[in-house]
Amino acid sequence: MRVVVVHPNPDTARELLAVLSAELPDADMAIWSPDYAHQADYAAGWLPSAEFFAQQHSLRGFFSAWAGVERILASSTLPMTLPIIRLEDAGMGAHMSDYCVTAVMQWVRRRDEYEQQQRERIWRQLPPHDLAEWPVGLFGFGVLGRRVAAAFDVLGFPVHGYARTAPADAPFPCYAETGGAGDFGAFLRATRVLILLAPLTPQTQDRFNRETLAQLPRGAYVVNVARGGLLVDEALLELLDNDHLAGAALDVFRQEPLPPEHPFWAHPKVRMTPHVAAVTLIVPSARQIAGKIRRFHAGEPVSGLVDRTRGY
């Protein structure tokens, strides 16, 4: 079995190679470069160049070292029948849960208001919020979505999700396009804190525009840790400015880095971070990839196989 690692960051490529080599001791391992002289059976990594797929035309599978695969699927030289297998959690779930809970608790505990009072030297105790009045709705109810949902559930928040198809084993109420508790509009109307966790696909691109965001209850909040393309910036800003929405915590954007002239930078209701909500951990990611390669090579079922018609 011949496996190549491809990654735009040389240090990350070397780390992936080291762990994969230890996990797959019988495999012939190498880091791909344009002068690589062999045809590999499998490749692991992220953001392969067009030249990579053009040269490596005998691959049996590509194992992504990232949960999102939209940029791989956009490659002009990606073979139409090549199986793409994505990461599932690999340590990202804990980071994502912590990020989302922290963002929401800032609002629930009225930290912005207390910080303003501190600047104005005002000593005033504000009424506490009742968590029962803060239903959290997660758009995207896969592996990461369920981890985030569980974190809020433990704290006492009402939790529900929205998925393309309602999972049979969902531990929380789930709205869905098919087989769920209700439609998209019902999901939005039941949500005070909307957390975006779905992949970017043709179906989710611009899904949260003025029409859909306006269906959230007045005073709702938005957290985007998925992809910037799910959320229409101008619509979010309009609804924040007219006070229909109370705040937003954004970790991902349509253009990254975010241009310095973008209004998000200075908006008083927007909190931003530079795409750090869920950092990919090399060791657990590489170990997961190695396990998937072993199963795939043995002809066994592998989770994380990308459905190209869905885009994830």
* Alpha-carbon span 217 to 195, nearest angstrom: 14
CATH number, position 62: 3.40.50.720
Query: What are the strands of the beta sheet with 270-272, ordered from one edge?
Result: 174-178, 159-165, 136-139, 193-196, 220-224, 245-250, 270-272
Q: Could you tell me if 50 and 103 lie in one domain?
A: no
Q: Could you tell me if 37 and 110 lie in one domain?
A: no
**pLDDT tens, residue order, the chain (312 aa):** 999 999 999 999 999 999 999 999 999 999 999 999 999 999 999 999 989 999 999 999 999 998 778 889 988 889 999 999 999 877 788 899 999 999 999 999 999 999 999 999 999 999 999 999 999 999 999 888 999 999 999 999 999 999 988 777 888 899 988 766 678 999 999 999 999 999 999 999 999 999 999 999 999 999 999 999 999 999 999 999 999 999 999 999 999 999 999 999 999 999 999 999 988 889 999 999 999 999 999 999 999 999 988 888
137-165 confidence digits (pLDDT tens): 999 998 889 999 999 999 999 999 999 88
Q: Could you tell me if 62 and 106 lie in one domain?
A: no
- Residue 93: the pLDDT is 85
**Is residue 302 a part of any domain in this protein?**
no
**Is residue 131 a part of any domain in this protein?**
yes
- Residue 152: the pLDDT is 98
Q: Could you tell me if 97 and 214 lie in one domain?
A: yes
User: Given its phi and psi angles, is residue 65 left (phi above 0), alpha (psi -120 to 50 degrees) or beta?
Assistant: alpha
Q: What angle in degrees, to the nearest 10, is found between the helix axes of 10-23 and 282-297?
A: 50
- Residue 182: the pLDDT is 76
* Alpha-carbon span 80 to 61, nearest angstrom: 12
Number of independent structural domains in the chain: 2
- Whats the size of the chain, residue-wise? 312
* Alpha-carbon span 256 to 47, nearest angstrom: 16
Which active-site residues does the annotation give?
A: 227, 275
- Residue 179: the pLDDT is 67
Q: Could you tell me if 225 and 151 lie in one domain?
A: yes
- Residue 140: the pLDDT is 93
Q: Could you tell me if 73 and 117 lie in one domain?
A: no
- Residue 309: the pLDDT is 84
Q: Could you tell me if 59 and 108 lie in one domain?
A: no
**Is residue 311 a part of any domain in this protein?**
no
83-93 confidence digits (pLDDT tens): 999 998 777 88
**Is residue 210 a part of any domain in this protein?**
yes
Q: Could you tell me if 79 and 111 lie in one domain?
A: no
* Alpha-carbon span 132 to 127, nearest angstrom: 15
Q: Could you tell me if 46 and 161 lie in one domain?
A: no
Q: Could you tell me if 56 and 102 lie in one domain?
A: no
**Is residue 308 a part of any domain in this protein?**
no
Q: Could you tell me if 66 and 110 lie in one domain?
A: no
Q: Which residues contact 211 (CB under 8 A, 6 or more apart)?
A: none
Instruction: Name the one residue in this structure whose structure tokens are 């619509």.
Output: 235
**Is residue 134 a part of any domain in this protein?**
yes
**Is residue 310 a part of any domain in this protein?**
no
Q: Which domain holds residue 60?
A: 2-89+281-297
Q: Could you tell me if 161 and 15 lie in one domain?
A: no
Instruction: Name the one residue in this structure whose structure tokens are 């990606």.
Output: 78
**Is residue 257 a part of any domain in this protein?**
yes
Task: Calculate the alpha carbon distances from 36 to 14, 60, 196, 295 in Å.
Answer: 16, 17, 40, 26
